[in-house]
A = this chain, B = another copy of it.
Amino acid sequence: MTSLGSSDVLPAAARLRKIRQALQRTPGVSVGAMARQLRVSEMTIRRDLEKLQQVADVRRTHGGAVLAERTVFEFSYLERQRARQTEKKAIAQAARQMIGEGQRIILDTGTTTLHLARLLKDVRNLTVITPSLAVASELQYAPEVSVVLLGGVIHRGSPDLTGPLTEHCLEVFSADWAFQGAEAIGPDGSVYNTDLQLAQVDRKMREKAERTCLLADSEKFGRTALIRGGTLKDFDILITDKNAPRALSALARKMSCRVMTV
């Protein structure tokens, strides 16, 4: 492949082109390989790569070079659980029914609320307030929906913003609904989060919404987690699935929280 044409050294410009081509084919080139292939010293290749880095989308690395990354902005996170997708979708569907045109709603972080976000793309004149980059991303192109992203600190590997700034942002809003998930719901009706900051943000959200709704599939019941962020009393409605424990209805009623089962 390299041996076509003259086996002599190439002019500099041609060498740069060859390096660039090689980069296009493979995920990266090594200084040594290029030097051998183009019959020049390694130092020359290094200087070439330095040059290419200046003028082209080539990035120098130890041992060689790679092509610069494409420019797509992505936030990534580890999906908590793929489990219970069906239940979560059904719960989201039920929540969707409660939202009307022109409303302002607060959508919390979580997989269930993310499902809900997907169902909101065609609600007319809707305002969605959220600390979740995933929710924001999901709705960014919905023409009828305006998305307000709350401020906050970005945590590595997590798709949501939390912290004092997030609470501070919420301060200025008032919404028709707040939809939240939970990590666990104890047998006494306590609602748990994994994280203190998250719990505080959640509390503030409930303050700022006229009505509040908790989305929790049946797996969440009877467990606990690190932070007790509130109780069922704090929610107007709880939406869950058919596998939720029997005792739940009575418990919720005592705490003046309506239960919807899907």
Which of A's residues lie within 8 Å of B, judged by CB? 2-3, 6-7, 9-15, 17-18, 21, 26-33, 35-36, 42, 54-57, 59, 61-66, 68-79, 86, 133-134, 136-138, 140-141, 143, 146-154, 156-157, 159, 161, 164-166, 168-169, 172
Residues in B neighbouring A13, C-beta threshold 8 A: 28, 59, 61-66
User: Quick one: given A28-B17, A32-B2, A32-B6, are A11 and B72 in contact (CB under 8 Å)?
Assistant: no
Main secondary structure on chain A at its contact with chain B? mixed
Q: How far, in angstroms, from A159 to B156 measured CA to CA in the complex?
A: 20
CB distance from A247 to the nearest CB of B (A): 29
Q: How many copies does the complex hold?
A: 2
Apart from the given pairs A72-B72, A73-B134, A73-B137, 6 other A-B contacts in the complex at a CB distance below 8 Å: A68-B76, A69-B77, A72-B73, A72-B75, A140-B156, A148-B165
CB distance from A256 to the nearest CB of B (A): 32
User: Quick one: given A54-B86, A149-B151, A151-B152, are A63 and B33 in contact (CB under 8 Å)?
Assistant: no
